[in-house]
A = this chain, B = another copy of it.
Amino acid sequence: MEQKLYIGVIGSAEAPPEILEMARKVGREIAKRGAILVCGGRGGVMEAAAKGVWEEGGLAVGILPGTTRKEANPYLSVAVVTGMGEARNAVVVRSSDAVIAISGGYGTLSEIALALKMGIPVIGLNTWQLTAPDGSGGHLLLAKSPEEAVSLAWRVADGE
């Protein structure tokens, strides 16, 4: 009954091999450090991250948008079926102590924004660049490698 850390990994359902490899490495690192992976439960980056967790015997949770568990990727330990469509993005993020964004499209961008709105730290790996209306940058923490992304997540998630 120790408290575990929950790390969200967000990214597209379709992505090129080098992005998937990044996601898999992030997943492995998360599992090695004993945290729980939270993701959107589907393919692409979500599946690759879950696969990394699975390879290390860790726990991967998928929060699915549709009404059936059939859309889950095969590496999840637990698949939650929301039936809420894109509104589930708020649940993925809310369930995470820190979020790692890997590349990604508009769905990922919405999760980055929701996390920052909720005060949940976001680490960006090859992802969106944001310029606020006043010209300032967004508050993403930038990482250059999967290892650095996970290190940063730990640093900000546990308040170190």
Q: Which residues of A come within 8 Å of B, CB atoms?
A: 1, 6, 36, 38, 54, 59, 61, 63, 67, 69, 74-75, 77-91, 94-95, 103-107, 109-110, 112-114, 116-118, 126-133, 138
Contact A107 B103 (CB under 8 A): no
With A116-B106, A117-B105 given, is the CB distance from A94 to B78 under 8 Å? Answer: no
Q: Per a CB cutoff under 8 Å, which of B59, B74, B83 touches A85?
A: B83
- Determine the residue in chain B with the shortest Cβ distance to A19: B133
Shortest CB distance A54–B (Å): 8
Additional pairs, 4, CB under 8 Å, beyond known A82-B87, A128-B130: A6-B69, A63-B80, A106-B138, A107-B113
